[in-house]
Structure formats: C-alpha cells, structure tokens
Structure 1
Amino acid sequence: MATGVENVGPRLRAARQAKGLRLEDVAAKAGMSVSTLSRLESGKRQASLELLVPLTRQLGVRIDDLVRPDADPRVRRPAVRRNGHVVAPLTLEDSPVSTYKITYPPVDELPEMRVHDGFEWLYVLSGRLRLRLGEQDIVLEPGEAAEFDTRTPHAMNADGEAPAEVLSIFNASGERMHTHAAHD
C-alpha cells in the first residue's frame, strides 16, 4: 500500500483547483514562489512541514488530508439478510453518502408505510418495484429512478412474482432507518 506522501502534490493541486484559486495567488499568500508551488504540485519538489503549513491554511485543508495513506478502495462489507431482503453495501462504512443494492422479495402482504428524516434516491436494476409514497402508488420498471423526502410516508416492495433489485442512495438519516430496520 502506498504511504500517501507521493500524492501530496496532486492533492495540493486538487484542493487549489476545487477552490478555483490560481497558482500565483496561493503562492503569494503562502509566502512562496510560484515555481516552488508548481514544483510541489507536480511532485518535483519534496513537501516539508515548512511549505505545507502555510499552504494548508490558504487552502482550508488539513495536513493529514494531504499525506494520508492511500486506502484500499474496495468495499468489503458483507451483505445482510432479513425477512427475505438482501442489503449489500456498495460504499465504505465512513462514506458521506451510503449506497446499497437492496433486493426486495415478492411478498403477499404489503409493508407498513414509514416516515423518518432523510432523503432517498433509488434506481431499479431488475424486477419491478412498487413504491407507495403518500397517496401515490407507483410501479418502477428497470432503468427508472425516484427521489423523495422520507418524511413523506413511504413503503417499497417487489411488484409481481420476481424480486426487485434496487440501487438505493441515502443520506445519514435515511441510511440508519432503512439499513438497520432491514436487518435488525
């Protein structure tokens, strides 16, 4: 695994560009030459604390963000099963947004509608998903997506005889409610 130090330059450049700042402006405010900053960003100059501290102040980033080791990007969290649902995490545990592949089984009895803080975005991969949202009763086909405020009463289940596979993206409130409720 890489130590992260070799990526300081690209991370500096990305932080500067994300703020829409010019090389000349950041270098001047950090008290260094444009050439020094350019060489740091391109990896042609070794980063030191003496150079990084004023740059992090100008860019609003932490030194730890610049020198962190490169983490393994693979998601190795197990799928959880409960009541026929399969909830497979597709993001790392500490991701700011949680994404799951949820398989809804065909059921005879419709689930109870729920209300909670949060937002949900979903995309139907296969099968048909019945989304009850307030007074609406909608069937989503593969390739269709929906986005809604989860403070609106809602429930989902597979429509028909086959399971429905859905990509679901939640903010923190929605993730707690759906994924923990699905496998507690």
Structure 2
Amino acid sequence: MTNGETNGVPDPTEDVLAGVGPRLRALRRARGATLAALADETGLTASTLSRLENGRLRPTLEQLLPLARVHGVPLDDLVAAPATGDPRIHLRPVRRSGLVMVPLTRRAGGIQAYKVVHPPAAKASKPRPRTHEGYEWFYVLNGEVRFVLGEEEFRLGTGEAAEFDTRVPHWIGSAGDRPAELLALFGPQGERAHLSPAEPGAPLAAP
C-alpha cells in the first residue's frame, strides 16, 4: 500500500489536504500578513504555519479553526477546492456587527466583490466613521443608504453609486425602515477591514 492509498485505492482525503497549504499561503499573502503576524493572531507558531503552508505538516481541526477565523473564510474554503467545471457559485453569508456580507468572488487577492445587507436604520448602530488602506466602490441595489464621508453626509437611493478613498473616515448604513442592499468592491485591505471583528467604535486601520 502506497502513501495516499487505501487497499490500492487512492485516498481522496490526501488530495484535499494537499491543497490546504497553497490556499493558506494565498490567503495570508492576500492580507499582506507575515508568518510572525499570523502567529500572533492565531496562537500558532510561525514554524507550524510555515510547515502547514509548505505541506510538510498535516493540518488538524485545531489548527484550521483559528486560521479560518483570522482569514475571515468558512472552514470549507480551506479544506475543499472549488468544484471544477461547475459554473454555480455557492454563496456563504458572513455576519459581522449586524451586517450580512455575501462573497461573490472566491479567488484570493485582487478586487473582491460582496453583496452587503445593512439592517434597517432603527436597528443600525450609531455612525462611527473608520479608516483603512484602500479604495472602495458601492452600488445601491435596494433601499436607501446613509453615507458619511469625512465631514459630509449623503443619501443614496436604488441605482446610485459612490466611490471613495477609504483613508478618509467613512460610515455606511441604511437610511430607511427596511434593509439596504449594496454591491461593494474593495481590495485585500478593505476586505480585511470589513470582515475582521472589532470593538464597536474602535478605529479600524490597516497595520
């Protein structure tokens, strides 16, 4: 019996685990994080992280859970490659601070697309403008949006769009009595800022 085979039959688990390392490396590099920084975030050692990325260490659930949390992706995305030849997109909503974010792209790095659903104004938190590296664009699919940018405030309705430098303090929320649905595009730093958990009111700036 050879490695990766059971009773002479190839073990599909080995193929799945073999793909974990490259995905972990791509996710870390997309965030611009070093092994040392990732070690601080996950509690794993830099040596362990390096061995996982290089395929020299078989990943365990205890190692993958903090990595999935820090990278802001479902555990399934770490251990299973997208189905080839299937054009369907399997959407997995991510919930953060009252928002629902549905990833529309699966590749690591580059511009990321999300459908973002903001709760009705009555249930939204008080505006707390934040900053981070990057540039953002959003289009209002449904509802009405309250958009704070620096010292200015705007109201955008269905079919309107905005683009801005995210280094300027900004806040986006629903302006009506129903949820506001947006299509948002942003790069790795913006993706990290929107998906990383933060204390309410805490400044959100890329390191």
Q: TM-score, normalised on structure 2?
A: 0.50
- Alignment correspondent of 2:103: 89
* Aligned mate of 1:169, from 175, 181, 185: 185
CA distance in structure 1 between the aligned counterparts of 2:107 and 2:184, rounded to whole angstroms:
15
SS at match of 1:103: strand
Q: 1:110 deviation in Å?
A: 2.0
Q: Residues 181 and 122 of structure 1: is their aligned pair in 2 closer, same or farther, counting only changes over 3 Å?
A: farther
- Amino acid of the residue matched to residue 140 of structure 1? L
CA distance in structure 2 between the aligned counterparts of 1:72 and 1:111, rounded to whole angstroms:
41
- Alignment correspondent of 2:146: 130
* Aligned mate of 2:94, from 65, 80, 91: 80
CA distance in structure 1 between the aligned counterparts of 2:88 and 2:193, rounded to whole angstroms:
25
- 1:140 and 2:156 correspond: yes
Percent identity, please: 46
Tell me the number of residue pairs that the alignment of Structure 1 and Structure 2 aligns: 114
- Alignment correspondent of 1:113: 129
Q: 1:73 deviation in Å?
A: 4.2
Q: 1:71 deviation in Å?
A: 5.4
Matches within 5 A, 1:1-184: 72-94=86-108, 96-108=110-122, 109-181=125-197
Structure with larger Rg: 1
CA distance in structure 1 between the aligned counterparts of 2:115 and 2:178, rounded to whole angstroms:
16
Q: 1:107 deviation in Å?
A: 3.5
CA distance in structure 2 between the aligned counterparts of 1:73 and 1:96, rounded to whole angstroms:
20
CA distance in structure 2 between the aligned counterparts of 1:138 and 1:181, rounded to whole angstroms:
26
SS at match of 1:91: coil
Q: 1:77 deviation in Å?
A: 4.1
CA distance in structure 1 between the aligned counterparts of 2:96 and 2:150, rounded to whole angstroms:
25
**RMSD over equivalenced CA pairs, Å:** 2.1
Check the 8 A contact 1:110/1:157 in 2, yes or no.
Answer: no
CA distance in structure 2 between the aligned counterparts of 1:100 and 1:86, rounded to whole angstroms:
10
Q: 1:94 deviation in Å?
A: 2.1
CA offsets per residue over residues 124-160 of structure 1, 9 Å max, x none? 0000011100011001100000000000000011002
CA distance in structure 2 between the aligned counterparts of 1:179 and 1:111, rounded to whole angstroms:
18
SS at match of 1:152: coil
